[in-house]
A and B are shown apart, each in its own frame.
Chain A
Amino acid sequence: MNTKSYNTIKQVVLFGFALFALTSCKKYIPTDQDSLGEDVVYNTTEFQPVLGRNTFYDNIVNIGQNTSQPLTFKIVNARDIDGQPTTLFDDKFPVKIWKEAYTGFEKSIAEIEAKRKIEYRPILEILEKSGNINFWGESGNSGFIKAQPDSGYVFDVELTNTGGRRYLRNFKLKPLRERPYEPSIIDPITGLSPIPYTFITKMSSNMRGDRTDRAMFNSDIRVYFNKLENNVAGTKTLTISFLDSLNNPIDPKKFSATKWEGLVHGFNHRFENNKVVYDVAYPIPLSAIATPYTNITGENAYIEFKFRRKGDFGFLEDNYFGLEFSIFEEGNWEIQFRFPYELPKFD
C-alpha cells in the first residue's frame, strides 16, 4: 500500500515535469533564420566593360525588405551565348590591387608601387557579400576574350543565405574592344578609329591665333596619344609634346605659367628634345578620387597648359587650355598637342 502511494507521488512529480517540458518546446514557432525573398534585383544585367582596363560595377544590387543580409553571391554556369560552357573565367590573371590607400600625395613611384601588389584574379569576379561585379580587364584582350560584335558570354548568379538559395539567370557579358586611352575616337565595336586624333577639353576664351589673331576653339588643337615602342623597355613614362602645323616641335617652356611639377602624378620631370617627360605609374589616374592631378570628380586626369599675355586692354591675362584624359595601358605614352592651323599667340 505504501509503495503504491509513493508511485502516485511519482506520478504527480512526473506530471509536473511533463507540464514543464511541454511548454519548453518551441516546435510550432518558426526558426529564426534568414529570409531570401524575391526582391533581390540587379539593376544591370548586361555588362559591357572595355577590354584592357578594370571595370568595377558598384551599387548594382537592390535588396528589398524581404531579404536578409548578408547574402553570398556566386557566379555559376558561365557559358557562351549558344550555351557552350566556357572555362575562360576559371583562369586567373595578374592584376594590380591596392594594399594601402592611394591619396595623391605619394612622393615617388616606389611609394606608389609599395601600396600595390600583384594578385591573380579571374577576369569576371563577383564580390561574395555585396554582389558587385568586377571585370578585371587589365590583363585581358580581344585576342582571347570574345569582344563585340560577338554576343559575348552569359552567366547566372547564385544567391544564398541561411534561408535558402536562389538563382538570378542570364546575365550577359559583352566586352567592348580595347580603348587604351580616353578620350578616344576608337569605335568600341570594331576597334577602329576613323581619325587618329581627338580634341582638347577646355580652353580659356582669350586664346588667340598667332597668325590671324582670331579666337581659338577646342577644335583648333588636336590631341594624339602615341604609345612609344622604341623607348627603353620596362620604363613607364608619360611624354608631352606640342607640334605646330608643320609638325615641328614647340618648346613647352613657351607655356611658361604651367605648373610642370604638379601637372601629372609623375616624378622626375625633365625637358628632353622640346618634350616634357615624366616617370609615372599606370593607369592614369591611379584611382577615381579627386587629387591635384585630376578633374573635380577624380575620374580623369587633368593637365592644363598656361601662359600669360598682355591682353587688348593692357591687362596681364591667363591663357590656357586643358585636357581631361585617362590612360589604362601601361607603357611609354606620349600625348602630342598639335596646332594644325596656327599657333596660339604667346605674347
Chain B
Amino acid sequence: MKQLCILIFLFANVLTNSVLAQTGMVKGTVKGANNRPLAGVSIKLENPKRDLGKTGDDGRFVISMPTNGVMVFSYQGYGTVKQPVTAGKTEYNILMESKEQELEETVVVGYQQRKRETLTGSVVTISGKEIQDIPSGNFVDLLQGKVAGMNIQNNTGSPGMRGTIAVRGISNFNVSGSGDNTFLTPTSPLFVIDGVPIDDNSGYEYGFETAGPGVSPISMIPPEDIEDITVLKDAQATALYGSRGAYGVILVRTKRGNSKIPLVQYQGQFFMSAVPQLRKVIGGRDERMVRVEQILMNDTTLAAAIRRINDSPMLADSLNPYYNNSTDWQSYFYRNTYNQTHNVNISGGERVFNYKVNMNYYDENGIIANTGFKRYTVQSNMQYEPNDRFRMMANVNANLAQNQMGSGNAAMQTGVGKSVNTTSLYPAPSLFSGSMGALSALNVDDQNKTGNYVAQVELQYEPIIGLRATSTFNYNYTTSTKDRYTPELLLGNSSEIYGYYDNKSKVYNRNLLSWVKAIKEKHVINLYGFTEMEISQSSSTLNKIRGTANDQFQAGISYNTRQTLGGLLNNLTNYRSIAYAGNASYNYDSKYIVDLTYRVDGTSVTGGASPWTSNPSVGFRWNFKKEKFMERFSWWDTGFFRGSVGRTIQPTGTLSDLYGWYKVDAGRYNNRPTTSLDLKNAPNTELVPQTTTQWSLGMELGFFNSALYLTYETYYKQSDKILRSKAIANHNAFENVLTNEAAMVNMGHEVSINFRPRLRNGDWDLSGTATFALNRDYTTALPDGVRQLIQPDNTSGYNLPQFFRLGRNPLTFVLYDYKGVYKTDDEVPVNPLTGQRYRAGGEFSAGKFFRAGDPIFTDINGDYILDENDLVFVGNSQPAMTGGLSVFTRYKNWSLRTQFSYTLDRDILNTALTDRFRNYDTPTGVIEGKPDYVPGAYVPLDAYNVWRQLGDNADYPNVSDFTRLTLYNPYRYNSTMFLEDGSYVKINSATLGYNFDRKWIQRYGLTSARINFTANNIYTFSRYAGPDPELVTSVGRDGSNGYPSKRTYSLGVSVQF
C-alpha cells in the first residue's frame, strides 16, 4: 500500500510538472535609461525560481519559458522588473528604471552577504573593470587613489612587487634596518580572496628580510580575473575578521560563471616598459678636467696639488686605455623592455551549476637588466546550487611565479645602484676590466620560483527556512625557491651556489550558522555565529656552497667546505588560532539598524594567563532619508548616518618572542657543539596581540537619482599594545626585551564623491569618483612610560635615527637645521669665551672650523660646536593628504578611462642628491689603504646653486674643498638641506578603448571585441628635486638604490567567443 501511495504521488508530480512545462519561446529587448539597450540583464523565472538567461550586447533576449510564468529582470543599478508572460504574446520590450545604485548592491561583509542599505560599517567597492586594462604584476598598485583613506605608494618598480598600503594611516611605527635600508613595519590590510584570509605582511614584503624571492600570493591574482574589490575600513566592517583585521580588510572576489552559453574570453596585452629619465653625469675628459681643477683650486699648496694629481693614475695616466674612457654606466643597466600578458577565461553555467576557469600568463622584463617577473596561473571555481537550500562551491587555484632580481632583492637594487655610480673614466664592464659589481648585477644567474596552490570547498545548507549553515575549508600552500649561481670570476675566484627553499602552508576552516527572521515585514533580525580556525606553518632553509670545481659545476659539491653554510633559517613559524564570533543585527524597516558583534580570539602567540582576547564592536545606522519628513525632497534619494566602535587584534611577535630561542654556540665542549639560550631577546611570556580600537562616523548622501553621491567619514583609530623591543640594563644577561608598551593613534577625515550625470545624449556617458583623505598619526605611548625616545643609527653611516615623542607623528626626521652658506669667514660666529670660530664637533681639528662656503647649521645649544645636541626634529614622512580622481567617459563605442592620484603634505629626505654631492669628496679617485675604492660619478652642478667663491650667495655649500670635507661634513645625510616637500599629483593612467560593432564582429564568430591603448604612470607633477617623489622608502628616504618606476604603454585586445 505504501509503495502504491508513493507511486501515485510520484506520478502526480510528473503530471503536474509536465503541465507546468508547457513552454514557448519569448523574445524582446531590454532598455535602460536614455533608451540604451542593456546587456547582461539577468532573466529569471519567478516561480519556481530558475535562471532563464541573459540579454545580449544589444539588449535582446530569446528565452524559452513556461507560457504562464513571470519573468523577473534584474540588473545591477536598476530596479527589478517583473513581466508576466501572457499567452500568445511572444515579444516584450522591457524598460528598466535606474535606481540608487549604491544601496541596492549586496556585499559580503563578515562572511555574510548583506544589502548595502543595511551596512553599518565603512565599505567601498571597486569593480574589476576599472583595473583590467593596465598590465600589472600586482593589482594592488592599480588601486592607488581609488579609495579614500587607503594610501598606496608605489615605491618600487620591481616587477611583481607591490608598494606600501596603509588603510587609515600606519598602525605600527617600528622600523627595521638602518640607514638607507630602513623600513617601516608593514601594516598592510588583510586580503580575503574569495572568502579566505591571506596575510600579506609577513615575509613577502621585502626580499631581504627573508632571503627568498619575496613574491606575495597577492601578485599571483591576475587583475583580469577580478570581479570586484571591496575595502573595509572601520571597526564594524572588519570586526568579524578579528585577528589580523586590525589594519583594514580588502575582499577580492574573482569572476564566476554566469551564462547559459559558455563564454570564452581572451584578453591580451602587449606593453612596453620605458625607462624613466636617468640622471645626467659628466663623462670622459670633462670629468677628468673637473677633478683636476678641483684639486688645483682646493688643495693646501700648489705643490701638494700637483703631487696629488700625479699620484692618481686615473688623472695622470690619461692615455692609458684603462682610464681613457667615457663610460655611460646607466646604459648597461637600464633598458626599455617589451612584454606581454595573456588571459583566457572560460565560464558558463547558471544558478544551478556554474563554473569558471581562468588561465593567465604574464611576462614582464624589468627595466633593470637581469630582473623580471613571470606568472602562470590557473584559477578555477564551480558552484552547484540545485535549490535554494543547498549550495556547494569549490575553488582550485594553481599559480606559479618566476622572478629574477639580479644582484638585488625585492625592494632594493644595491648592486646596480653602486655600479651606476661609477666614474665614467673607468672602462665598461667586462671580465678584463674588473668591475665585478656591475658584472654580477648583469651576469649572476638568479632564478626564483614561487608556487601557490589553493583548494577550497564551501558548503551551505538551509535545513529550516531562515537558518543557514555554512562550512568553509581551505588549504593554501606556498613554496618558493631561489637559485643563484655566482661564477668564480665575480667572487674572488670562488664560485657560490646559493640555494633557498621555503614553504608555507595554511589550513583554514570556518563553520557558520545564521538565522534571519522578519517580523511583520518591518523588523528584521539577523543572527549568526561562527567558529574560525587556522593552522599555519612556515620554514625555510638556505644553502650557500662556496668553491665548486669550476663554473660548469653549478650544484652540489665544493672543495671549500670551510665557507660553505647551510641549514634552517630561524624565521620558522608555527601558528594556531581559533576564534568564536557572533553577530546580532536588528533592522527596523531599513531605517534604524543596529549591529552588535562579539568575537573571541585565541592565538598561539598570545602569552599571559589566557590566550583569549575578546573583541566587541557596535555599529548603528540611521537612514534618515526614509523618514517621513524627508519625503518632500524628491531630488534627494539617499541620506544616512552611520557609526561604529569596535576592537580588533593583530597577533604580533612569534613563539620565540614568548619563549626564547636556543642557538648553536660558536664554541665547543668535548669537541661537540653546544647549545645555549640566545641572549639577544629575553623571553617574555606576557606578550599579547596588538589591539586596534576604532571609532568612526559616516554620512552618505545621494542626490538626483544617484547622479551625485557623497560620502563623508571620520575616524579615530587607536593602536595599543604595539610590540616593541627595548634595551634592558646591561647587568641582565639579555640585551633586549620585547614588550607591548607602545601605542599610536590615527585620526582623519575621508570624503568621496561619485558623480554620474544623466546626459541627454545617449551616445555620451560620463562617470567618475573623486576621493580625498586627511590622516594624522600620533605617538601616544612609549615603553617605560617615557615621553620621548630616540632609536639611534650609529652604524649605517647615515646617522638617521628614529625619533618618537608623545603627541607627535611617529616618523619625524632628526636633522641638523640648515640655514644657507657662509658668504665670508667673518659671518661665522665666534665663541666669546675662547675667540674660536664655530666648528664641527668631534675630535678637535683646525679644519673643522667653519669658513666661507661652509654650510650654516644652527647651533641649537649655543656651545659653538656642531654636534648631536644641535639636532632638530622636523617633518613627517607620512603623507597627510591622499586621494585621487578617476573619470570614465564614453562616446558611442569609444571610451576613455583616466586615473589621477595625489599625495600632499609629506616630507622626503633626498639622500640620493646627497650622494651625488658626496661623490666630490675624492677627486683623485684614490683612497690610501682602500684598494677596492671605486670613485663615484660626477654629476653636473649647473642645476644647483653651489657656493664657488667668496661672497657667493649660494643654496648649497662648497662641494670642492675635499681636504676638509670629511672633517666638517657639509653634505651630511641628516640635514634639512635635503628635506624636501614630497607632495605630488600624478596622472596614473589613461585607457582609450574601442568596442567593435557587434554586427560587424559577428561575421567572424565573435560576440564582442574590444581593443584598448593604455599608458600607465604617465606623469608626476611635483616640486621635488629628485627623480620621483613616490619612489621613496616607507620612512621617506629617497635612496640611490631603489628600483625606478617604469612607464608602460600597452595595447590590449579583448575578444569573447
- A: residues with CB less than 8 A from B are 4-5, 8-9, 12, 15-16, 19-20, 22-23, 26, 28-37, 54, 56, 58-59, 63, 65-71, 97-102, 115-116, 119, 127-132, 134, 163, 286-290, 297
Contact B869 A12 (CB under 8 A): no
Contact B836 A287 (CB under 8 A): yes
Q: How far, in whole Å, are A44 and B153 apart by their CA atoms in the complex?
A: 50
Contact A67 B788 (CB under 8 A): yes
Contact B792 A65 (CB under 8 A): yes
Known pairs A33-B787, A69-B861, A69-B869. 5 more at Cβ < 8 A?
A20-B714, A59-B865, A98-B831, A98-B835, A297-B844
Q: How far, in whole Å, are A116 and B833 apart by their CA atoms in the complex?
A: 10
A101-B836 contact, Cβ under 8 Å, with A29-B778, A65-B790, A127-B863: yes
Q: How far, in whole Å, are A100 and B831 apart by their CA atoms in the complex?
A: 8
Contact with A along B608-638 (1 / 0, CB 8 A): 0000000000000000100111101000000
Interface flag for B789 (CB, 8 Å) = yes
Return chain A residues, CB-CB under 8 Å to B846.
Answer: 289-290
Q: How far, in whole Å, are A127 and B749 apart by their CA atoms in the complex?
A: 46
A35-B805 contact, Cβ under 8 Å, with A20-B714, A23-B716, A287-B835: yes
Q: How far, in whole Å, are A36 and B786 apart by their CA atoms in the complex?
A: 9
Interface flag for B108 (CB, 8 Å) = no
CB distance from A317 to the nearest CB of B (A): 27
| 14 residue pairs bridging A and B, Cβ less than 8 Å apart | A8-B629, A19-B699, A23-B749, A34-B788, A56-B833, A66-B787, A68-B788, A97-B833, A98-B833, A100-B835, A101-B836, A128-B862, A130-B861, A163-B787
Q: How far, in whole Å, are A47 and B641 apart by their CA atoms in the complex?
A: 69
Return chain B residues, CB-CB under 8 Å to A99.
Answer: 830, 832
Contact A30 B806 (CB under 8 A): yes
Contact B641 A69 (CB under 8 A): no
Q: How far, in whole Å, are A26 and B837 apart by their CA atoms in the complex?
A: 45
CB distance from A134 to the nearest CB of B (A): 6
Contact A66 B749 (CB under 8 A): no
Most chain B CB atoms below 10 A, which of A15, A29, A33, A102: A29
Kindly identify which residue among B627, B780, B861 contacts A70, using a CB–CB cutoff of 8 Å.
Answer: B861
Contact B833 A54 (CB under 8 A): yes
Interface flag for B35 (CB, 8 Å) = no
Contact A69 B836 (CB under 8 A): no
Contact B780 A29 (CB under 8 A): yes
Contact A287 B834 (CB under 8 A): yes
Q: How far, in whole Å, are A69 and B868 apart by their CA atoms in the complex?
A: 10
Q: How far, in whole Å, are A15 and B790 apart by their CA atoms in the complex?
A: 43
Return chain A residues, CB-CB under 8 Å to B788.
Answer: 34-35, 37, 65-68
Across the A-B interface, the 3 shortest Cβ-Cβ residue pairs: A35-B788, A35-B787, A102-B835
Contact B805 A32 (CB under 8 A): yes
Nearest residue, chain B, Cβ from A6: B629
Interface flag for B27 (CB, 8 Å) = no
Return chain A residues, CB-CB under 8 Å to B747.
Answer: 23, 26, 29
Return chain A residues, CB-CB under 8 Å to B873.
Answer: 68
Interface flag for B697 (CB, 8 Å) = yes
Contact B862 A129 (CB under 8 A): yes
Contact A63 B837 (CB under 8 A): no
Contact B697 A37 (CB under 8 A): no
Interface flag for B745 (CB, 8 Å) = yes
CB distance from A26 to the nearest CB of B (A): 8
Contact B832 A97 (CB under 8 A): yes
Interface flag for B860 (CB, 8 Å) = yes
A58-B805 contact, Cβ under 8 Å, with A9-B629, A19-B697: no
Return chain B residues, CB-CB under 8 Å to A100.
Answer: 826, 830, 835
Contact with A along B835-864 (1 / 0, CB 8 A): 111000000101000000000000011110
Kindly identify which residue among B629, B805, B844 contacts A5, using a CB–CB cutoff of 8 Å.
Answer: B629
Contact A33 B714 (CB under 8 A): no
Most chain B CB atoms below 10 A, which of A4, A26, A34: A26
- Residues of chain B at interface, number, CB under 8 A: 53
Nearest residue, chain B, Cβ from A9: B629
Return chain A residues, CB-CB under 8 Å to B835.
Answer: 98, 100-102, 115-116, 286-287
Q: How far, in whole Å, are A98 and B788 apart by their CA atoms in the complex?
A: 38
Return chain B residues, CB-CB under 8 Å to A30.
Answer: 778, 780, 787, 806-807
Contact A65 B863 (CB under 8 A): no
Contact A23 B789 (CB under 8 A): no
Kindly identify which residue among A32, A65, A130, A289 contacts B869, using a CB–CB cutoff of 8 Å.
Answer: A130
Q: How far, in whole Å, are A160 and B304 apart by their CA atoms in the complex?
A: 51
CB distance from A277 to the nearest CB of B (A): 25
Return chain A residues, CB-CB under 8 Å to B627.
Answer: 8
B296-354 residues with Cβ-Cβ distance < 8 A to A are none
Contact B714 A19 (CB under 8 A): yes
Contact B836 A58 (CB under 8 A): no
Q: How far, in whole Å, are A9 and B624 apart by their CA atoms in the complex?
A: 9
Contact B869 A98 (CB under 8 A): no
Q: How far, in whole Å, are A15 and B641 apart by their CA atoms in the complex?
A: 9
Kindly identify which residue among A36, A66, A71, A131 contacts B789, using a CB–CB cutoff of 8 Å.
Answer: A66
A129-B861 contact, Cβ under 8 Å, with A23-B747, A29-B780: yes
Q: How far, in whole Å, are A192 and B870 apart by their CA atoms in the complex?
A: 44
A98-B806 contact, Cβ under 8 Å, with A15-B641, A19-B699, A23-B716: no
Contact A132 B786 (CB under 8 A): no
Kindly identify which residue among A16, A58, A129 contacts B860, using a CB–CB cutoff of 8 Å.
Answer: A129
Q: How far, in whole Å, are A130 and B865 apart by their CA atoms in the complex?
A: 10
Interface flag for B709 (CB, 8 Å) = no
Interface flag for B881 (CB, 8 Å) = no
B713-731 residues with Cβ-Cβ distance < 8 A to A are 714-716
Return chain B residues, CB-CB under 8 Å to A31.
Answer: 806-807
Q: How far, in whole Å, are A288 and B832 apart by their CA atoms in the complex?
A: 13
Q: How far, in whole Å, are A102 and B836 apart by their CA atoms in the complex?
A: 6
Kindly identify which residue among B632, B699, B716, B836 contacts A289, using a CB–CB cutoff of 8 Å.
Answer: B836
Q: How far, in whole Å, are A101 and B639 apart by their CA atoms in the complex?
A: 73
Nearest residue, chain A, Cβ from B837: A101
Interface flag for B71 (CB, 8 Å) = no
Return chain B residues, CB-CB under 8 Å to A32.
Answer: 805-808
Interface flag for B828 (CB, 8 Å) = yes
CB distance from B837 to the nearest CB of A (A): 5
Contact A23 B697 (CB under 8 A): yes
Q: How far, in whole Å, are A19 and B712 apart by their CA atoms in the complex?
A: 11
Nearest residue, chain B, Cβ from A12: B624
Contact B830 A98 (CB under 8 A): yes
Contact with A along B856-886 (1 / 0, CB 8 A): 0000111101000111010000000000000
Q: How far, in whole Å, are A97 and B833 apart by their CA atoms in the complex?
A: 6
Q: How far, in whole Å, are A102 and B826 apart by their CA atoms in the complex?
A: 12
Contact with A along B766-794 (1 / 0, CB 8 A): 00000000000010100000111111100
Return chain B residues, CB-CB under 8 Å to A28.
Answer: 745
Contact A68 B805 (CB under 8 A): yes
Q: How far, in whole Å, are A99 and B833 apart by their CA atoms in the complex?
A: 9
Contact B697 A130 (CB under 8 A): no
Nearest residue, chain A, Cβ from B786: A66
Q: How far, in whole Å, are A12 and B805 apart by their CA atoms in the complex?
A: 39
Nearest residue, chain B, Cβ from A62: B869
Contact A130 B830 (CB under 8 A): no
Return chain B residues, CB-CB under 8 Å to A131.
Answer: 861
B521-535 residues with Cβ-Cβ distance < 8 A to A are none
Q: How far, in whole Å, are A128 and B835 apart by their CA atoms in the complex?
A: 19
Return chain B residues, CB-CB under 8 Å to A70.
Answer: 860-861
Most chain B CB atoms below 10 A, which of A15, A16, A65, A132: A65
Nearest residue, chain A, Cβ from B716: A23
CB distance from B96 to the nearest CB of A (A): 32
Q: How far, in whole Å, are A89 and B918 apart by their CA atoms in the complex?
A: 49
Nearest residue, chain B, Cβ from A287: B835
Kindly identify which residue among A8, A115, A127 contacts B862, using a CB–CB cutoff of 8 Å.
Answer: A127
CB distance from A76 to the nearest CB of B (A): 20
Kindly identify which residue among B628, B716, B863 contacts A130, using a CB–CB cutoff of 8 Å.
Answer: B863
CB distance from B586 to the nearest CB of A (A): 21
Q: How far, in whole Å, are A5 and B805 apart by their CA atoms in the complex?
A: 50
Return chain A residues, CB-CB under 8 Å to B697.
Answer: 19, 22-23
CB distance from B412 to the nearest CB of A (A): 28
Contact B789 A65 (CB under 8 A): yes
